[in-house]
Amino acid sequence: MNLCWILLWLITLSLPVLADLNYHLKPRQVAENTWLLEGSTDNFGRDNGGNIVNVGFIVTELGVVVIDTGPSKRYGEALRQAIASVTDKPVIQVLLTHHHPDHALGNQAFKDVPIGALAGTTQLLHEQGDGMAENLYRMVGDWMRGTEVVLPTQVLSPGVTTFGSHPLRLLELRGHSGADLAILDQKTGVLFAGDLVFYQRALTTPNTPGLAIWLADIATLQGLPWTLIVPGHGPVAVDAKPFEQMRDYLGWLDHLLREGASHGSDMPELIRGPIPERFAAISLSRYELIRSVSHLYPQYEREQMQHLNP
């Protein structure tokens, strides 16, 4: 078999695999001029290509504002196609809620427009982006092929910025990642909460500066004049249930870690412990408890040691 036939054979074998790498994004209208692409509440996997995130876009008179770009170059390209299926208006702005890979690794598909983010988000993506992309490649495989980290090109500040008839209030918070942008469309009342809010899906804690800070951010968001909440992960809501669930879970997690440290418990004890029934049905509750204990418990132990040795 000559080299040409070998190459043709390899290409033929790869075509079915590549054909399966389709995100099948279907925008759903959730408010006036406002569309959502809702991801799975599962973990990253080769069956979903990392599509576990909620991404949105607003069609304004001036053009389309995109909120987060998804987990890969391929997702970003599919997102642009999905937007084009709704409107022929150009994309004029990307707003990133934070630096985590499922929200920001689709940036490559939007290099022709301003990509706005908080200064802290850009710094964190610069520091952690390559490592997160490599880790995601290990988890989802070829869905990530060709994906490279593209940093934001625009620094966002808190306040109101208007696109057409849509005044968007930008809030600078930090409870989830250390630099979290929440976006309230003051025309429709839609609140894009990013990963400050998880709903019916256990929250992740790798970059949180502290659960008390996160709880304060939840209070700030709940106090806004919203009509619909778009969490970073999980279904949208028209009531305060996502905030209630977040407060309940964060309070329980903080109490669990604090009590464990005061009693000298080790990590395996906390990881194996019971999860309250109201949280047990939430997607990935045990998996994320294991990760949260690993992320956060050493700090609680240090604080307990300082308390005992003033």
pLDDT one-digit tens code per residue, 58-80 = 999 999 999 999 999 999 999 99
Give the domain range for residue 44: 18-239
151-166 pLDDT, tens digit per residue, is 999 999 999 999 999 9
Distance CA 199, CA 238 (A): 12
So what's the pLDDT on residue 292?
98
- Asked if residue 214 is part of any domain, the answer here is yes
pLDDT at 281: 86
Task: Please indicate, yes or no, if residue 263 is contained in any of the structural domains.
Answer: no
Q: Has residue 234 been placed in a domain?
A: yes
Kindly state whether residue 207 falls inside one of the protein's structural domains: yes
CA 231 to chain CA centroid, nearest Å: 9
Residue 1 falls within a domain, yes or no? Answer: no
User: What is the number of structural domains in the chain?
Assistant: 1
CATH number for position 152 = 3.60.15.10
Instruction: Give the pLDDT score at 309.
Output: 74
- 173, part of any domain: yes
| Largest separation between any pair of C-alpha atoms in the chain | 77
Would you say residue 104 lies in a domain?
yes
**pLDDT on residue 8:** 45
% residues pLDDT > 90 (the chain): 91
pLDDT at 35: 98
Asked if residue 206 is part of any domain, the answer here is yes
Q: Which residues of the chain have pLDDT under 70?
A: 1-19, 310
The pLDDT assigned to 16 comes to 40
